[in-house]
Structure 1
Amino acid sequence: MTDQKAAPQTGVSAPVKLSMLTMTGMVVGSMVGAGVFSLPRRFAQETGVAGALIAWTIAGVGMLMLAFVFQLLANRKPKLDAGVYAYAKAGFGEYLGFFSAFGYWASASVGLVFYWVFIMSTIGAVVPGFGDGDTILAIAISSAALWGFFFLIRRGIKEAAAINRIVTVAKIVPIIVFILLALFVLKPDVFAANWGGADYAGSLFNQVRNTMLVTVFVFLGVEGASTYSRHAKRRADVGRATILGFVSVFAVFASVTIVSYGVLPMGEIAKLRQPSMAGVLEAAVGPWGAWFVSIGLIVSVLGAYLAWSLMAAEVLFVAAKDHDMPRFLARANSQDVPTAALLLTALFVQAVLVIIYFANDALNLALDLTSALTLIPFFLAALYALKLVTTRETYVEEPRGWGRDLVVTILAVVYTAFLLFAAGLTFVLLSFIIYAPATILFVMVRREQGRKVFSGRELIIFAVSVLGAILGIVALSVGWISL
């Protein structure tokens, strides 16, 4: 539960403090969004049961290691707020810290675009004018809803968190029902036929590799409690909420994928309209199954949208408070809501909503780009944790757990490095196109402080990001890669 201390005599409300239960709800609410409803088709397009089991094992272990990393850092570095951004800055300097903050924020913002496209695509199954979520009508309705949520969240974090708790419970129910019904009608012969995987996907290694971005997407939010740590009642609750939230949803994600292989041949699942979970349940129990899942998806997406909006704005706000983003982003209202950061987030989402109108596959582009943008922040956080362990910083005073933490951080670094490899050149270049122009904000910060814009090492990083952006633009222009 959230609470609020008595307001001071000035009439300005005291910052809201969040309990472990509320923070766990925010982690679950962030992870259980639209992604889980797209899992059957995304996996069936790439791999069969065997590959899916391997992929979920890798993703589960890797993301659990990342969850442990965020728990470790929350306990070892309790003064660092907005975890993902703060850890990169502390470990590798202001410029990479800035990139981490911007990348995480951009990832969350593109994720919000994915949510609106997915909702409109779901409605499009009934109202043709919405198409696959990327028609003019769909974008117009999404834009109106975007600004409606903006004004809701401006009312205060307490109200938004309370709504998130209710929605988190409501959206879990249809997913659990889906798993149980799919198990009940599971056909052993269909499941066995789907074991080997898709011939068109190549080797088992490539099949597993091609599923990595979608597993990253559905697990985004595992860092939610760390990102929102400045509002925790007790610092220890940040790490506990992270682990509890992760464990609560991992089995659900894997189960939704695996049981679907027992309902339909994977070739048919791969051709289902998104949300593919609706098509699988319709095949299992009839038309009402599609309606049931579709309603659950809309509830789920709206809840996750709320949590992601809060986390995205929080990163910009805390970075500005630490003088790593322009000072205008540090503005907050009397309800402790970072209004300027929230507005910039809404404007960015609005811009991307317009851009996706020109994409060949708006839904998958938004999903994969969301995952790709967050890989660098995750990689830097894992590297910083490994740096703490190897240098034994904080372990002189409290050596307990050093060996365990060494194993955890090495595995987290290896996993995030593998994710960068799995993302492939296309999304690395698209990420550079977004990252490089963001340096304008960094220049604004340095000028506000009267400092030299780049140090020697920072200039090299800037040059690499600009080169990557140029290569990405050229690749788009000549058709090497496409939206």
Structure 2
Amino acid sequence: MEKKHKGISKIGLVAAVVSSSIGSGVFGITSDLAAGSAPAPAMIAWVIVGIGILALVLSLNNLGAKHPEMNAGIFGYAEKDFGKLGGFISGWGYWMSSWLGNVAFATMFMSAVGEFFPLFKGGQNVPSILLASLFIWGLTFLVSGGLENASIVNVLVMLCKLVPLVFFLIMAILSFKLGIFTSDFWGNVAENLQNNGTAASVGEQIKSCLMVMMWVFVGIEGASVLASRAEKRSDAQKASIIGLTILLFIYILASLLPFGVLSQEELANIKQPAMANILKHIVGDWGAAFINIGLIISVIGAWLSWTMLPAETTMLMARDKLLPKFFGKTNEKNSPTNSLIATATLTNLFLLTFLVTDYAYKLAYSLCTASILICYLFVAIYQIKYSFKQKEPLQLGIGIVATLFQIVGITLAGFNYVLLCSIAYIPGLFFFLKACHANNRNISTLEKAAMILITLSAILAIVMLYLGMITL
């Protein structure tokens, strides 16, 4: 029988999945979809994304069950398959994507607060940055008191953020009109909106939906990352499936039901956050205020989850000798103190650049937009390799689907973003080399070649950025 110990509960792990995935994206997803697609292509896109994300979750669950000894987060599979450097590339990319996402959460949070308090309007002035900084360090302090305690708070935040979302779904169902939903079912309006009157095929409309849909699932790996802190490791696998089910239910209904409330053209041009203004159309001004409060709670919940996940990742990387021991230091509550402080400091520094320009943020965020998909790709590839060795055709098929899905995502993100990602790895390679030196580990010829290739890619990306060949 699996031994139970003090740690994060199953519902805490579900909250890690739901809270880290539901940020601000769901509040504007309908407008983003309507700008390039009619209801029918969007529904087809949901089937594709649902299958792809399910394949990724099943891959994580399968590998977690087959490798209960692995406590290295999702980067552990990259290390298992591609060695220490592969593990570093996956882990560092995941960490960069995570804390830079917190910069976005801080900006969105202050913009939402600005709807109620004009002092913070826009989210990029001095009062906004000061308040956001207080939240950054407040959440850091909360997590430093123990990830288990922080997960309890995360459960409460998850429940609070679900209330306005469920209310919106109920009102959208009550206001839904089939005639409006089917009036432009396959996309005549989409043709005009997206292509200035030229025909947009069903395939093009589906393609326009995929990236919007894929990004709202970033964080689906939350339970897997925290598996080593679970009361029972098997809870992480169950929590991932429960979390995915909740997310699919909310995302699909929240994105499609409004097509039966307003026309596609109205949805495409509605002011963001779209959900607030759709509810305003249904029930009046108080509906928009209610959703904006929900947006604030939702962002705080995602922000808390993404304070936990990147710090846990760098701590695990240090323990696995992919980063210097500094990142692995924990306090008496077993929280990764140095990793938390480093993550909070970098997030705060990028916020301060808003006082001068928002270009630094756009550059840094663009560097890592594709990183998370690369991390997922490593997991899917290892699922294929492991399942092939074990002669498990079903798991092999799941791995193939997950791999193809991530390749599609990386392709849609654009090669420029993948190239820009290499810049973010340059400072990381310095820490990786320090860790290798501290542990008397020799760098293989293949690893040296890979690091040279990453460095050359970074130089090329910087030159192309300077020449205007890459734009953000």
TM-score of the aligned structures, taking structure 1 as reference length: 0.89
* Aligned counterparts of 2:207 and 2:363: Cα–Cα separation in 1: 16
Match status 1:22 vs 2:12: yes
**RMSD across aligned positions (CA):** 2.4
Look up the match of 2:349: 351
Q: Give, in angstroms, the shift of residue 194 of structure 1.
A: 4.4
* Aligned counterparts of 1:458 and 1:182: Cα–Cα separation in 2: 54
Look up the match of 2:308: 310
Contact 1:317 1:330 in 2 (8 A): yes
Q: Give, in angstroms, the shift of residue 184 of structure 1.
A: 1.5
Look up the match of 1:466: 455
User: Relative to structure 2, which stretch is displaced further, 32-41 or 333-342?
Assistant: 32-41
Aligned partner letter, 1:481? I
CA deviations 1:172-209 (Å, max 9, x no partner) are 11111111111211243432344334221544333333
Look up the match of 2:91: 101
**Counterpart among 142, 149, 173 of residue 152 in structure 1:** 142
Look up the match of 2:166: 176
- In structure 1, list runs of 5 or more residues that go unmatched: 6-15, 396-401
Look up the match of 2:435: 445
Aligned partner letter, 2:452? A
* Aligned counterparts of 2:270 and 2:114: Cα–Cα separation in 1: 14
Q: Give, in angstroms, the shift of residue 363 of structure 1.
A: 9.0
User: Relative to structure 2, which stretch is displaced further, 314-323 or 32-41?
Assistant: 32-41
Match status 1:475 vs 2:460: no
Look up the match of 1:243: 241
Secondary structure in 1 aligned to 2:260?
coil
User: How is 1:168-207 mapped onto 2 (pairs within 5 angstroms)?
Assistant: 168-197=158-187, 198-199=190-191, 200=194, 202-207=200-205
Aligned partner letter, 1:479? G
**Counterpart among 101, 115, 118 of residue 125 in structure 1:** 115
Aligned partner letter, 1:39? I
Contact 2:113 2:296 in 1 (8 A): no
Change (3 A) 1:336 1:182: same
- In structure 2, list runs of 5 or more residues that go unmatched: none
Aligned partner letter, 1:335? K
CA deviations 1:23-82 (Å, max 9, x no partner) are 122222222222211212222223221232122111111000000001001111111113
Secondary structure in 1 aligned to 2:414?
helix
* Aligned counterparts of 1:414 and 1:447: Cα–Cα separation in 2: 37
Q: Give, in angstroms, the shift of residue 371 of structure 1.
A: 4.7
CA deviations 1:378-402 (Å, max 9, x no partner) are 000110111101122xx6xxxxxx2
Aligned partner letter, 2:88? F
User: How is 1:192-271 mapped onto 2 (pairs within 5 angstroms)?
Assistant: 192-197=182-187, 198-199=190-191, 200=194, 202-271=200-269
User: Relative to structure 2, which stretch is displaced further, 126-135 or 20-29?
Assistant: 126-135
Change (3 A) 1:58 1:362: farther
Change (3 A) 1:426 1:281: farther
Secondary structure in 2 aligned to 1:105?
helix
Q: Give, in angstroms, the shift of residue 480 of structure 1.
A: 3.0
* Aligned counterparts of 1:217 and 1:462: Cα–Cα separation in 2: 28
Contact 1:24 1:241 in 2 (8 A): yes
User: How is 1:1-20 mapped onto 2 (pairs within 5 angstroms)?
Assistant: 16-20=6-10
Contact 1:122 1:275 in 2 (8 A): no
**How many residues are treated as equivalent by the alignment?**
460
* Aligned counterparts of 1:160 and 1:115: Cα–Cα separation in 2: 18
Q: Give, in angstroms, the shift of residue 131 of structure 1.
A: 4.2
* Aligned counterparts of 2:202 and 2:111: Cα–Cα separation in 1: 31
Aligned partner letter, 1:283? H
CA deviations 1:434-461 (Å, max 9, x no partner) are 1233211111111212333x32211222
Aligned partner letter, 2:463? V
User: How is 1:69-84 mapped onto 2 (pairs within 5 angstroms)?
Assistant: 69-84=59-74
User: Relative to structure 2, which stretch is displaced further, 378-387 or 303-312?
Assistant: 303-312
* Aligned counterparts of 1:196 and 1:185: Cα–Cα separation in 2: 22
User: How is 1:264-413 mapped onto 2 (pairs within 5 angstroms)?
Assistant: 264-355=262-353, 358-359=357-358, 371-392=369-390, 402-413=392-403
CA deviations 1:113-155 (Å, max 9, x no partner) are 2211111222333445544433444333222221121112212
TM-score of the aligned structures, taking structure 2 as reference length: 0.91
* Aligned counterparts of 2:360 and 2:167: Cα–Cα separation in 1: 30
Secondary structure in 2 aligned to 1:93?
helix
